[in-house]
Structure 1
Protein backbone atom coordinates (compact mmCIF):
# COMPACT_ATOMS: atom_id res chain seq x y z
CA UNK A 1 0.00 0.00 0.00
CA UNK A 2 1.18 3.56 -0.75
CA UNK A 3 2.29 5.13 2.54
CA UNK A 4 0.04 8.18 2.21
CA UNK A 5 -3.07 5.97 1.98
CA UNK A 6 -2.24 3.85 5.04
CA UNK A 7 -4.91 4.20 7.74
CA UNK A 8 -4.47 4.22 11.49
CA UNK A 9 -6.51 4.74 14.64
CA UNK A 10 -5.75 7.96 16.52
CA UNK A 11 -7.51 9.93 19.24
CA UNK A 12 -5.99 13.40 19.05
CA UNK A 13 -3.79 15.74 17.03
CA UNK A 14 -2.32 18.37 19.35
CA UNK A 15 -0.59 21.44 17.96
CA UNK A 16 1.98 23.79 19.50
CA UNK A 17 3.56 21.35 21.95
CA UNK A 18 6.95 22.36 23.37
CA UNK A 19 7.64 19.44 25.74
CA UNK A 20 7.74 16.49 23.34
CA UNK A 21 10.85 16.98 21.26
CA UNK A 22 12.87 19.91 20.01
CA UNK A 23 11.10 23.15 19.10
CA UNK A 24 7.39 23.59 18.46
CA UNK A 25 5.75 20.31 17.53
CA UNK A 26 2.51 18.69 16.47
CA UNK A 27 1.70 15.55 18.44
CA UNK A 28 -0.25 12.71 16.90
CA UNK A 29 -1.70 10.44 19.59
CA UNK A 30 -2.29 6.86 18.41
CA UNK A 31 -4.78 4.47 20.00
CA UNK A 32 -3.68 1.22 21.61
CA UNK A 33 -1.09 0.30 24.21
CA UNK A 34 0.26 -3.06 25.45
CA UNK A 35 0.71 -1.71 29.00
CA UNK A 36 -1.85 -0.75 31.63
CA UNK A 37 0.09 1.62 33.87
CA UNK A 38 -1.89 2.41 36.98
CA UNK A 39 -1.12 6.13 36.65
CA UNK A 40 -1.81 6.41 32.90
CA UNK A 41 -2.89 9.99 32.14
CA UNK A 42 -4.43 8.98 28.80
CA UNK A 43 -6.70 6.00 29.59
CA UNK A 44 -8.60 6.74 26.38
CA UNK A 45 -5.44 5.68 24.53
CA UNK A 46 -5.28 2.12 25.83
CA UNK A 47 -7.78 0.27 23.62
CA UNK A 48 -7.17 -0.13 19.89
CA UNK A 49 -10.78 0.69 19.01
CA UNK A 50 -13.01 3.77 19.40
CA UNK A 51 -14.38 4.14 22.92
CA UNK A 52 -17.50 5.92 24.19
CA UNK A 53 -17.17 8.46 26.96
CA UNK A 54 -19.51 10.72 28.89
CA UNK A 55 -18.28 13.90 30.59
CA UNK A 56 -21.06 15.24 32.86
CA UNK A 57 -19.09 18.44 33.50
CA UNK A 58 -19.72 19.56 29.91
CA UNK A 59 -23.38 18.62 29.94
CA UNK A 60 -25.91 21.45 29.57
CA UNK A 61 -28.34 19.31 31.65
CA UNK A 62 -31.66 17.82 30.62
CA UNK A 63 -33.52 21.00 31.52
CA UNK A 64 -31.48 23.08 29.05
CA UNK A 65 -30.77 20.45 26.39
CA UNK A 66 -31.51 16.73 26.69
CA UNK A 67 -30.86 16.12 22.97
CA UNK A 68 -28.80 12.98 23.62
CA UNK A 69 -31.63 11.22 25.48
CA UNK A 70 -34.07 12.09 22.70
CA UNK A 71 -31.67 10.80 20.03
CA UNK A 72 -30.96 7.43 21.69
CA UNK A 73 -33.36 4.67 20.64
CA UNK A 74 -31.64 1.91 22.66
CA UNK A 75 -32.21 3.19 26.19
CA UNK A 76 -28.50 3.87 26.65
CA UNK A 77 -29.09 7.53 27.48
CA UNK A 78 -32.04 8.19 29.76
CA UNK A 79 -33.36 10.73 32.24
CA UNK A 80 -33.47 9.70 35.90
CA UNK A 81 -34.78 12.31 38.35
CA UNK A 82 -34.04 14.97 35.76
CA UNK A 83 -30.43 13.87 35.30
CA UNK A 84 -28.92 12.47 32.10
CA UNK A 85 -27.59 8.96 32.70
CA UNK A 86 -25.46 6.88 30.34
CA UNK A 87 -25.85 3.07 30.50
CA UNK A 88 -22.88 1.40 28.75
CA UNK A 89 -24.55 -2.00 28.79
CA UNK A 90 -27.25 -0.74 26.39
CA UNK A 91 -24.99 1.34 24.15
CA UNK A 92 -24.65 -0.01 20.59
CA UNK A 93 -22.10 2.63 19.50
CA UNK A 94 -24.51 3.98 16.88
CA UNK A 95 -23.30 7.53 17.56
CA UNK A 96 -26.74 9.15 17.69
CA UNK A 97 -26.21 10.75 21.09
CA UNK A 98 -22.70 11.91 20.17
CA UNK A 99 -23.98 13.58 16.99
CA UNK A 100 -26.80 15.23 18.92
CA UNK A 101 -24.63 16.59 21.75
CA UNK A 102 -23.66 20.26 21.16
CA UNK A 103 -20.90 20.42 23.83
CA UNK A 104 -18.91 17.18 23.48
CA UNK A 105 -20.28 15.81 26.74
CA UNK A 106 -21.20 12.66 24.82
CA UNK A 107 -18.14 11.76 22.78
CA UNK A 108 -16.02 9.01 21.21
CA UNK A 109 -12.30 8.65 21.71
CA UNK A 110 -10.74 7.31 18.53
CA UNK A 111 -11.12 7.79 14.80
CA UNK A 112 -9.32 6.75 11.63
CA UNK A 113 -7.07 9.01 9.59
CA UNK A 114 -4.78 8.33 6.67
CA UNK A 115 -1.10 9.16 6.65
CA UNK A 116 -1.77 11.74 3.96
CA UNK A 117 -4.47 13.45 6.03
CA UNK A 118 -2.19 13.67 9.04
CA UNK A 119 0.76 15.03 7.06
CA UNK A 120 -1.48 17.71 5.57
CA UNK A 121 -2.63 18.74 9.06
CA UNK A 122 0.92 18.74 10.43
CA UNK A 123 2.18 20.89 7.56
CA UNK A 124 -0.34 23.62 8.43
CA UNK A 125 2.21 24.79 11.01
CA UNK A 126 5.33 24.31 8.91
CA UNK A 127 6.46 27.90 9.50
CA UNK A 128 6.73 27.25 13.25
CA UNK A 129 8.84 24.14 12.72
CA UNK A 130 11.35 25.89 10.47
CA UNK A 131 11.83 28.71 12.97
CA UNK A 132 12.01 26.55 16.10
CA UNK A 133 13.54 23.30 14.87
CA UNK A 134 10.32 21.43 15.63
CA UNK A 135 8.22 18.97 13.69
CA UNK A 136 6.09 15.86 14.14
CA UNK A 137 6.01 13.69 17.28
CA UNK A 138 4.17 10.37 17.46
CA UNK A 139 2.73 9.50 20.87
CA UNK A 140 -0.04 7.41 22.34
CA UNK A 141 -0.98 4.98 23.66
CA UNK A 142 1.98 3.32 22.01
CA UNK A 143 2.58 4.52 18.46
CA UNK A 144 4.58 1.45 17.45
CA UNK A 145 1.74 -0.82 18.54
CA UNK A 146 0.35 0.15 15.12
CA UNK A 147 3.66 -0.50 13.34
CA UNK A 148 2.57 -0.44 9.69
CA UNK A 149 0.77 2.87 10.15
CA UNK A 150 3.45 4.55 12.26
CA UNK A 151 6.30 3.49 9.99
CA UNK A 152 4.38 4.72 6.95
CA UNK A 153 3.76 8.02 8.74
CA UNK A 154 7.44 8.42 9.60
CA UNK A 155 8.52 7.63 6.05
CA UNK A 156 6.03 10.09 4.58
CA UNK A 157 7.11 12.76 7.07
CA UNK A 158 10.71 12.45 5.89
CA UNK A 159 9.56 12.73 2.27
CA UNK A 160 7.99 16.03 3.29
CA UNK A 161 11.19 17.07 5.10
CA UNK A 162 9.54 17.10 8.53
CA UNK A 163 11.63 16.51 11.63
CA UNK A 164 10.39 13.42 13.44
CA UNK A 165 10.29 12.15 17.00
CA UNK A 166 8.45 9.43 18.86
CA UNK A 167 7.45 8.93 22.51
CA UNK A 168 7.44 5.23 23.28
CA UNK A 169 7.06 2.71 26.09
CA UNK A 170 9.30 0.25 24.23
CA UNK A 171 7.02 -2.83 24.21
CA UNK A 172 7.17 -4.32 20.69
CA UNK A 173 9.60 -6.42 18.61
CA UNK A 174 13.09 -4.96 18.25
CA UNK A 175 12.88 -5.04 14.47
CA UNK A 176 9.98 -2.55 14.60
CA UNK A 177 12.07 -0.07 16.60
CA UNK A 178 15.08 -0.66 14.33
CA UNK A 179 13.01 0.29 11.29
CA UNK A 180 11.52 3.35 13.03
CA UNK A 181 14.95 4.65 14.04
CA UNK A 182 15.90 4.95 10.35
CA UNK A 183 13.36 7.77 10.05
CA UNK A 184 13.71 9.42 13.46
CA UNK A 185 15.52 12.62 14.37
CA UNK A 186 14.83 12.07 18.06
CA UNK A 187 13.73 9.20 20.31
CA UNK A 188 11.91 9.74 23.63
CA UNK A 189 11.89 6.45 25.54
CA UNK A 190 10.29 5.55 28.88
CA UNK A 191 12.10 3.39 31.43
CA UNK A 192 9.84 3.05 34.44
CA UNK A 193 11.66 0.49 36.59
CA UNK A 194 14.50 -2.02 36.37
CA UNK A 195 12.83 -4.62 38.58
CA UNK A 196 10.73 -6.86 36.36
CA UNK A 197 8.27 -8.07 39.00
CA UNK A 198 7.52 -4.58 40.24
CA UNK A 199 7.18 -3.42 36.65
CA UNK A 200 4.63 -6.16 35.96
CA UNK A 201 2.64 -5.33 39.09
CA UNK A 202 2.25 -1.62 38.30
CA UNK A 203 2.18 -1.61 34.48
CA UNK A 204 0.71 -5.02 33.61
CA UNK A 205 3.73 -6.00 31.57
CA UNK A 206 7.36 -7.10 31.73
CA UNK A 207 10.27 -4.69 31.23
CA UNK A 208 12.42 -7.32 29.49
CA UNK A 209 11.65 -6.20 25.93
CA UNK A 210 11.84 -2.54 26.95
CA UNK A 211 15.39 -2.85 28.23
CA UNK A 212 16.39 -5.02 25.28
CA UNK A 213 15.07 -2.42 22.84
CA UNK A 214 16.79 0.60 24.36
CA UNK A 215 20.08 -1.28 24.59
CA UNK A 216 19.71 -2.08 20.88
CA UNK A 217 19.33 1.63 20.11
CA UNK A 218 22.36 2.58 22.19
CA UNK A 219 24.48 -0.02 20.40
CA UNK A 220 23.19 0.32 16.84
CA UNK A 221 22.11 3.97 16.55
CA UNK A 222 24.79 5.75 18.61
CA UNK A 223 24.30 9.09 16.84
CA UNK A 224 20.50 9.22 17.37
CA UNK A 225 19.53 11.78 20.05
CA UNK A 226 17.72 9.93 22.85
CA UNK A 227 15.83 11.23 25.85
CA UNK A 228 15.09 8.60 28.49
CA UNK A 229 12.22 9.54 30.79
CA UNK A 230 11.09 8.09 34.09
CA UNK A 231 7.75 9.13 35.59
CA UNK A 232 8.30 9.12 39.36
CA UNK A 233 5.26 7.35 40.81
CA UNK A 234 4.57 7.25 44.58
CA UNK A 235 4.86 3.70 45.89
CA UNK A 236 6.37 2.41 42.66
CA UNK A 237 9.75 3.99 41.95
CA UNK A 238 10.00 6.99 44.28
CA UNK A 239 13.29 6.18 46.00
CA UNK A 240 16.79 7.40 45.27
CA UNK A 241 17.96 3.80 44.89
CA UNK A 242 15.41 2.99 42.19
CA UNK A 243 15.88 6.20 40.20
CA UNK A 244 19.68 6.15 40.34
CA UNK A 245 19.68 2.50 39.22
CA UNK A 246 17.89 3.59 36.04
CA UNK A 247 20.27 6.54 35.62
CA UNK A 248 23.30 4.26 35.86
CA UNK A 249 21.71 1.97 33.27
CA UNK A 250 21.49 4.86 30.80
CA UNK A 251 24.88 5.72 29.25
CA UNK A 252 26.53 9.09 29.81
CA UNK A 253 26.67 10.55 26.30
CA UNK A 254 26.27 14.06 24.93
CA UNK A 255 23.29 12.98 22.80
CA UNK A 256 21.57 10.93 25.54
CA UNK A 257 19.51 12.85 28.10
CA UNK A 258 17.78 11.56 31.22
CA UNK A 259 14.70 13.17 32.78
CA UNK A 260 12.46 12.41 35.74
CA UNK A 261 8.82 13.48 35.48
CA UNK A 262 6.72 14.53 38.47
CA UNK A 263 3.59 12.45 39.03
CA UNK A 264 0.30 14.24 38.38
CA UNK A 265 -3.39 13.31 38.42
CA UNK A 266 -4.51 15.46 35.48
CA UNK A 267 -5.84 12.46 33.57
CA UNK A 268 -7.74 10.86 36.45
CA UNK A 269 -11.18 12.42 35.64
CA UNK A 270 -11.13 10.65 32.26
CA UNK A 271 -11.40 7.29 34.01
CA UNK A 272 -14.83 8.32 35.25
CA UNK A 273 -15.85 9.45 31.76
CA UNK A 274 -14.91 5.95 30.52
CA UNK A 275 -16.61 4.14 33.40
CA UNK A 276 -13.36 2.82 34.90
CA UNK A 277 -11.73 3.14 38.34
CA UNK A 278 -8.49 5.07 38.80
CA UNK A 279 -6.26 2.41 40.35
CA UNK A 280 -3.61 4.60 41.94
CA UNK A 281 -5.99 6.19 44.42
CA UNK A 282 -5.22 9.54 46.08
CA UNK A 283 -1.43 9.40 46.20
CA UNK A 284 0.44 12.66 45.66
CA UNK A 285 3.87 13.59 44.39
CA UNK A 286 6.57 14.40 46.95
CA UNK A 287 7.94 17.76 45.84
CA UNK A 288 10.84 17.60 48.30
CA UNK A 289 11.93 14.24 46.90
CA UNK A 290 11.72 15.55 43.34
CA UNK A 291 14.01 18.46 44.22
CA UNK A 292 16.45 16.12 45.94
CA UNK A 293 16.55 13.54 43.15
CA UNK A 294 17.02 16.18 40.45
CA UNK A 295 19.94 17.60 42.43
CA UNK A 296 21.39 14.09 42.74
CA UNK A 297 21.01 13.55 39.00
CA UNK A 298 22.75 16.84 38.19
CA UNK A 299 25.61 15.81 40.47
CA UNK A 300 25.86 12.39 38.79
CA UNK A 301 25.79 13.85 35.30
CA UNK A 302 28.48 16.36 36.19
Structure 2
Protein backbone atom coordinates (compact mmCIF):
# COMPACT_ATOMS: atom_id res chain seq x y z
CA UNK A 1 0.00 0.00 0.00
CA UNK A 2 1.42 3.39 -0.98
CA UNK A 3 1.37 6.14 1.60
CA UNK A 4 -0.09 9.58 1.33
CA UNK A 5 1.79 12.60 2.61
CA UNK A 6 -0.63 14.48 4.86
CA UNK A 7 0.09 17.90 6.33
CA UNK A 8 -3.05 18.52 8.37
CA UNK A 9 -6.22 16.89 9.64
CA UNK A 10 -8.89 19.41 10.59
CA UNK A 11 -11.71 18.50 12.95
CA UNK A 12 -15.12 20.20 13.01
CA UNK A 13 -14.76 21.58 9.48
CA UNK A 14 -17.95 23.22 8.25
CA UNK A 15 -16.90 24.67 4.88
CA UNK A 16 -15.72 21.51 3.13
CA UNK A 17 -19.04 19.84 2.40
CA UNK A 18 -22.32 19.25 4.27
CA UNK A 19 -22.51 18.98 8.05
CA UNK A 20 -19.60 18.68 10.45
CA UNK A 21 -16.63 17.09 8.75
CA UNK A 22 -13.12 15.83 9.27
CA UNK A 23 -10.93 17.24 6.49
CA UNK A 24 -7.74 15.45 5.50
CA UNK A 25 -5.21 17.67 3.71
CA UNK A 26 -2.76 15.97 1.35
CA UNK A 27 0.58 17.59 0.62
CA UNK A 28 1.61 18.32 -2.94
CA UNK A 29 -0.28 19.94 -5.79
CA UNK A 30 0.18 19.75 -9.56
CA UNK A 31 -1.14 23.30 -9.91
CA UNK A 32 0.80 26.25 -8.55
CA UNK A 33 -1.90 28.91 -8.22
CA UNK A 34 -0.26 32.27 -7.57
CA UNK A 35 -3.00 33.21 -5.10
CA UNK A 36 -3.08 29.89 -3.22
CA UNK A 37 -4.11 30.42 0.40
CA UNK A 38 -2.43 27.14 1.40
CA UNK A 39 1.14 27.56 0.08
CA UNK A 40 2.26 24.90 2.55
CA UNK A 41 0.26 22.40 0.51
CA UNK A 42 2.09 22.95 -2.78
CA UNK A 43 5.32 21.03 -2.29
CA UNK A 44 5.07 17.21 -2.33
CA UNK A 45 7.89 17.09 0.22
CA UNK A 46 8.10 17.55 3.97
CA UNK A 47 8.62 21.20 4.94
CA UNK A 48 9.18 23.18 8.10
CA UNK A 49 7.39 26.29 9.29
CA UNK A 50 8.81 28.75 11.82
CA UNK A 51 6.66 31.26 13.70
CA UNK A 52 8.98 33.92 15.12
CA UNK A 53 6.13 35.36 17.23
CA UNK A 54 5.95 32.11 19.21
CA UNK A 55 9.70 31.83 19.76
CA UNK A 56 10.84 32.62 23.32
CA UNK A 57 14.54 32.08 22.64
CA UNK A 58 15.27 28.98 24.74
CA UNK A 59 17.72 27.85 21.99
CA UNK A 60 16.96 24.22 22.85
CA UNK A 61 16.33 23.71 19.15
CA UNK A 62 19.86 24.88 18.33
CA UNK A 63 21.34 22.54 20.91
CA UNK A 64 19.45 19.49 19.63
CA UNK A 65 20.01 20.06 15.90
CA UNK A 66 22.31 17.27 14.64
CA UNK A 67 23.57 19.27 11.65
CA UNK A 68 24.07 22.69 13.26
CA UNK A 69 21.52 24.05 10.83
CA UNK A 70 19.99 26.60 13.22
CA UNK A 71 21.26 30.01 14.21
CA UNK A 72 19.87 32.68 16.54
CA UNK A 73 19.56 36.14 14.95
CA UNK A 74 17.83 39.40 15.81
CA UNK A 75 14.88 38.20 13.72
CA UNK A 76 14.72 34.86 15.55
CA UNK A 77 15.92 31.39 14.61
CA UNK A 78 17.18 31.03 11.05
CA UNK A 79 17.48 27.63 9.34
CA UNK A 80 20.24 26.84 6.87
CA UNK A 81 18.35 24.55 4.51
CA UNK A 82 21.59 23.56 2.78
CA UNK A 83 22.38 21.36 5.78
CA UNK A 84 18.97 20.89 7.45
CA UNK A 85 17.72 17.32 6.92
CA UNK A 86 14.17 18.07 8.17
CA UNK A 87 14.49 15.53 10.97
CA UNK A 88 11.99 17.50 13.05
CA UNK A 89 13.95 17.43 16.32
CA UNK A 90 13.66 21.20 16.61
CA UNK A 91 9.86 21.00 16.47
CA UNK A 92 9.79 18.14 19.00
CA UNK A 93 11.77 20.03 21.64
CA UNK A 94 10.36 23.53 21.10
CA UNK A 95 8.20 24.35 24.17
CA UNK A 96 6.03 26.87 22.29
CA UNK A 97 5.76 24.96 19.00
CA UNK A 98 7.40 27.80 17.10
CA UNK A 99 8.63 25.12 14.70
CA UNK A 100 6.09 22.97 12.88
CA UNK A 101 6.82 20.08 10.54
CA UNK A 102 4.51 19.86 7.55
CA UNK A 103 3.93 16.42 6.08
CA UNK A 104 3.80 12.96 7.58
CA UNK A 105 3.01 9.53 6.18
CA UNK A 106 0.05 8.13 8.10
CA UNK A 107 -0.93 4.47 7.61
CA UNK A 108 -4.53 3.91 6.50
CA UNK A 109 -5.28 2.07 9.76
CA UNK A 110 -4.15 5.08 11.80
CA UNK A 111 -6.05 7.51 9.58
CA UNK A 112 -9.23 5.49 9.97
CA UNK A 113 -8.89 5.57 13.77
CA UNK A 114 -8.83 9.37 13.60
CA UNK A 115 -11.85 9.36 11.30
CA UNK A 116 -13.79 6.86 13.40
CA UNK A 117 -13.27 9.04 16.49
CA UNK A 118 -15.35 11.76 14.80
CA UNK A 119 -18.19 9.49 13.66
CA UNK A 120 -20.60 10.73 16.31
CA UNK A 121 -20.40 14.25 14.83
CA UNK A 122 -21.00 12.90 11.33
CA UNK A 123 -24.15 11.13 12.52
CA UNK A 124 -25.52 14.15 14.34
CA UNK A 125 -24.94 16.63 11.51
CA UNK A 126 -25.14 14.55 8.32
CA UNK A 127 -21.45 15.26 7.90
CA UNK A 128 -18.55 13.07 6.90
CA UNK A 129 -15.00 13.07 5.60
CA UNK A 130 -13.44 15.46 3.08
CA UNK A 131 -10.17 14.78 1.30
CA UNK A 132 -8.48 17.98 0.25
CA UNK A 133 -5.00 19.37 -0.29
CA UNK A 134 -2.95 20.15 -2.11
CA UNK A 135 -4.30 17.67 -4.59
CA UNK A 136 -5.66 14.38 -3.22
CA UNK A 137 -5.69 12.74 -6.67
CA UNK A 138 -1.86 12.85 -6.64
CA UNK A 139 -2.12 10.18 -3.90
CA UNK A 140 -4.72 8.11 -5.74
CA UNK A 141 -3.89 4.65 -4.35
CA UNK A 142 -3.94 5.86 -0.75
CA UNK A 143 -6.97 8.07 -1.41
CA UNK A 144 -8.97 5.19 -2.89
CA UNK A 145 -8.09 2.92 0.04
CA UNK A 146 -9.32 5.58 2.47
CA UNK A 147 -12.48 6.24 0.45
CA UNK A 148 -13.32 2.52 0.38
CA UNK A 149 -12.82 2.21 4.15
CA UNK A 150 -15.08 5.21 4.69
CA UNK A 151 -17.63 3.63 2.35
CA UNK A 152 -17.71 0.46 4.45
CA UNK A 153 -18.65 2.63 7.42
CA UNK A 154 -21.26 4.59 5.44
CA UNK A 155 -19.43 7.89 5.98
CA UNK A 156 -20.31 10.64 3.50
CA UNK A 157 -17.26 11.26 1.31
CA UNK A 158 -16.14 14.48 -0.39
CA UNK A 159 -13.10 14.98 -2.62
CA UNK A 160 -11.92 18.57 -3.03
CA UNK A 161 -9.88 18.51 -6.23
CA UNK A 162 -8.58 20.50 -9.19
CA UNK A 163 -9.63 17.60 -11.46
CA UNK A 164 -6.17 17.80 -13.06
CA UNK A 165 -5.36 14.11 -13.25
CA UNK A 166 -5.68 11.05 -15.47
CA UNK A 167 -9.31 10.56 -16.45
CA UNK A 168 -9.16 6.93 -15.29
CA UNK A 169 -8.19 8.14 -11.80
CA UNK A 170 -11.00 10.70 -11.68
CA UNK A 171 -13.62 8.15 -12.74
CA UNK A 172 -12.35 5.48 -10.35
CA UNK A 173 -12.46 7.93 -7.44
CA UNK A 174 -15.99 8.87 -8.53
CA UNK A 175 -17.14 5.32 -7.82
CA UNK A 176 -16.31 5.83 -4.14
CA UNK A 177 -17.28 9.47 -3.63
CA UNK A 178 -20.61 11.17 -3.00
CA UNK A 179 -19.55 14.74 -3.75
CA UNK A 180 -16.79 16.57 -5.61
CA UNK A 181 -15.76 20.15 -4.86
CA UNK A 182 -14.03 21.53 -7.96
CA UNK A 183 -12.62 24.98 -8.65
CA UNK A 184 -13.32 26.70 -11.95
CA UNK A 185 -10.49 29.22 -11.79
CA UNK A 186 -10.50 30.92 -15.20
CA UNK A 187 -11.86 29.70 -18.53
CA UNK A 188 -9.20 31.10 -20.87
CA UNK A 189 -6.57 28.37 -21.18
CA UNK A 190 -3.57 30.68 -21.62
CA UNK A 191 -4.61 32.80 -18.66
CA UNK A 192 -5.18 29.62 -16.64
CA UNK A 193 -1.63 28.53 -17.44
CA UNK A 194 -0.24 31.96 -16.58
CA UNK A 195 -1.74 31.93 -13.08
CA UNK A 196 -1.73 28.21 -12.21
CA UNK A 197 1.14 26.75 -14.22
CA UNK A 198 -1.06 24.43 -16.33
CA UNK A 199 -3.60 24.87 -19.11
CA UNK A 200 -7.18 23.88 -18.38
CA UNK A 201 -8.16 21.63 -21.30
CA UNK A 202 -7.56 18.44 -19.33
CA UNK A 203 -9.41 19.82 -16.32
CA UNK A 204 -12.47 20.80 -18.35
CA UNK A 205 -12.56 17.53 -20.31
CA UNK A 206 -12.32 15.55 -17.06
CA UNK A 207 -15.21 17.56 -15.62
CA UNK A 208 -17.32 16.83 -18.72
CA UNK A 209 -16.79 13.10 -18.23
CA UNK A 210 -17.24 13.27 -14.46
CA UNK A 211 -20.57 15.05 -14.92
CA UNK A 212 -21.84 12.00 -16.83
CA UNK A 213 -21.60 9.96 -13.61
CA UNK A 214 -24.05 10.13 -10.72
CA UNK A 215 -21.65 12.08 -8.51
CA UNK A 216 -22.76 15.40 -7.16
CA UNK A 217 -20.49 18.30 -8.11
CA UNK A 218 -20.36 21.69 -6.45
CA UNK A 219 -18.18 24.16 -8.28
CA UNK A 220 -16.15 26.84 -6.59
CA UNK A 221 -14.57 29.97 -7.95
CA UNK A 222 -11.85 31.96 -6.19
CA UNK A 223 -12.80 35.52 -7.13
CA UNK A 224 -9.66 37.49 -7.98
CA UNK A 225 -9.97 40.94 -9.50
CA UNK A 226 -8.05 41.22 -12.73
CA UNK A 227 -7.88 37.45 -13.14
CA UNK A 228 -11.36 35.99 -13.44
CA UNK A 229 -14.04 38.53 -12.48
CA UNK A 230 -14.65 39.92 -15.96
CA UNK A 231 -18.13 39.61 -17.46
CA UNK A 232 -16.67 37.56 -20.33
CA UNK A 233 -15.11 34.98 -17.99
CA UNK A 234 -18.21 34.66 -15.82
CA UNK A 235 -20.41 34.11 -18.89
CA UNK A 236 -18.02 31.48 -20.28
CA UNK A 237 -18.04 29.73 -16.91
CA UNK A 238 -21.83 29.74 -16.82
CA UNK A 239 -22.09 28.40 -20.39
CA UNK A 240 -19.67 25.60 -19.54
CA UNK A 241 -21.63 24.63 -16.42
CA UNK A 242 -24.91 24.62 -18.35
CA UNK A 243 -23.38 22.35 -21.00
CA UNK A 244 -22.71 19.57 -18.48
CA UNK A 245 -24.87 16.50 -17.90
CA UNK A 246 -27.05 16.53 -14.80
CA UNK A 247 -27.98 19.41 -12.55
CA UNK A 248 -24.78 21.45 -12.27
CA UNK A 249 -26.29 24.76 -11.28
CA UNK A 250 -24.43 25.59 -8.06
CA UNK A 251 -21.21 27.53 -7.62
CA UNK A 252 -19.62 28.91 -4.46
CA UNK A 253 -17.75 32.20 -4.81
CA UNK A 254 -14.64 32.62 -2.69
CA UNK A 255 -13.40 36.24 -2.72
CA UNK A 256 -9.61 36.50 -2.55
CA UNK A 257 -7.93 37.15 0.79
CA UNK A 258 -4.24 37.41 1.60
CA UNK A 259 -4.05 34.91 4.45
CA UNK A 260 -1.17 33.24 2.57
CA UNK A 261 1.16 36.16 3.25
CA UNK A 262 1.87 35.12 6.84
CA UNK A 263 2.24 31.48 5.80
CA UNK A 264 4.92 32.40 3.27
CA UNK A 265 6.77 34.26 6.03
CA UNK A 266 6.66 31.16 8.24
CA UNK A 267 7.91 29.02 5.34
CA UNK A 268 10.82 31.38 4.85
CA UNK A 269 9.86 32.28 1.29
CA UNK A 270 8.04 35.60 1.72
CA UNK A 271 9.45 36.69 -1.64
CA UNK A 272 7.08 34.20 -3.30
CA UNK A 273 3.95 35.91 -1.96
CA UNK A 274 2.03 37.84 -4.62
CA UNK A 275 -0.79 40.06 -3.45
CA UNK A 276 -3.92 40.15 -5.60
CA UNK A 277 -7.01 42.31 -5.29
CA UNK A 278 -10.34 41.14 -3.96
CA UNK A 279 -13.47 42.36 -5.78
CA UNK A 280 -15.63 44.85 -3.92
CA UNK A 281 -19.23 44.15 -2.92
CA UNK A 282 -20.75 45.64 -6.07
CA UNK A 283 -18.44 43.56 -8.27
CA UNK A 284 -19.37 40.38 -6.40
CA UNK A 285 -23.08 41.17 -6.75
CA UNK A 286 -22.58 41.66 -10.49
CA UNK A 287 -20.96 38.21 -10.73
CA UNK A 288 -23.90 36.68 -8.85
CA UNK A 289 -26.34 38.48 -11.17
CA UNK A 290 -24.62 37.15 -14.33
CA UNK A 291 -24.76 33.60 -13.03
CA UNK A 292 -28.42 34.09 -12.12
CA UNK A 293 -29.14 35.08 -15.73
CA UNK A 294 -27.90 31.61 -16.67
CA UNK A 295 -30.05 30.00 -13.93
CA UNK A 296 -27.00 29.22 -11.81
CA UNK A 297 -27.14 29.74 -8.05
CA UNK A 298 -23.97 31.56 -6.99
CA UNK A 299 -23.39 32.11 -3.28
CA UNK A 300 -20.58 33.58 -1.20
CA UNK A 301 -18.52 31.01 0.65
CA UNK A 302 -19.11 27.29 1.06
Task: Establish whether TM, by shorter chain, passes 0.5.
Answer: yes
Q: What do residues 5-58 of structure 1 show as CA deviations (whole Å, max 9, x unaligned)?
A: x52110011011111111111100011110100011111111112112211122
The counterpart of 1:283, out of the listed 272, 277, 281, is 277
In the alignment, what sits opposite 1:99? 92
**Cross-structure match for 2:71:** 78
Q: Aligned ranges for residues 236-247 of structure 1 at < 5 Å?
A: 236-247=227-238
For 1:1-302, list aligned pairs within 5 A. Answer: 1=1, 7-60=3-56, 62=57, 65-81=58-74, 83-219=76-212, 221=213, 223-251=214-242, 253-254=246-247, 256-276=249-269, 277-281=271-275, 283-301=277-295
Partner of 1:53: helix, strand, or coil?
strand
Distance 2:155 2:283 in 1: 39
Post-superposition offset of 1:256? 4.5
Residue-by-residue CA offset, 1:268-298 (whole Å, 9 max, x unaligned): 2111211223442253443321122123323
- Give the superposition deviation at 1:82: 8.2
Q: Deviations over 1:44-88 (max 9, x none)?
A: 11111211221112212x2xx222122224332112358432222
Change (3 A) 1:245 1:75: same
Q: Distance in 1 between matches of 2:274 and 2:281?
A: 18
Q: How many residues align?
A: 293
Q: C-alpha root-mean-square deviation of aligned residues, in Å? A: 1.8
Contact 1:10 1:30 in 2 (8 A): yes
Unaligned runs of 5+ in 1: none
State the partner residue of 2:300. none
**C-alpha contact 2:55 2:76 (8 A) present in aligned 1:** no
Q: Is the 8 A contact 1:115 1:149 kept in 2?
A: yes
* TM-score, L = length of structure 1: 0.91
Secondary structure in 2 aligned to 1:79? strand
Alpha carbons 2:229, 2:287 under 8 Å: kept: no
SS at match of 2:187: coil
Which whole-Å CA distance do the structure 1 matches of 2:53 and 2:67 have between them?
23
Q: Contact 1:226–1:256 at 8 Å: present in 2 too?
A: no
Post-superposition CA distance 1:167-212 (Å, at most 9, x none): 0011110000100000111111111111111001100111111001
Local SS of the residue matching 2:199: coil
TM-score (norm 2): 0.91
Mapped partners of 1:255, 1:204: distance in 2: 27
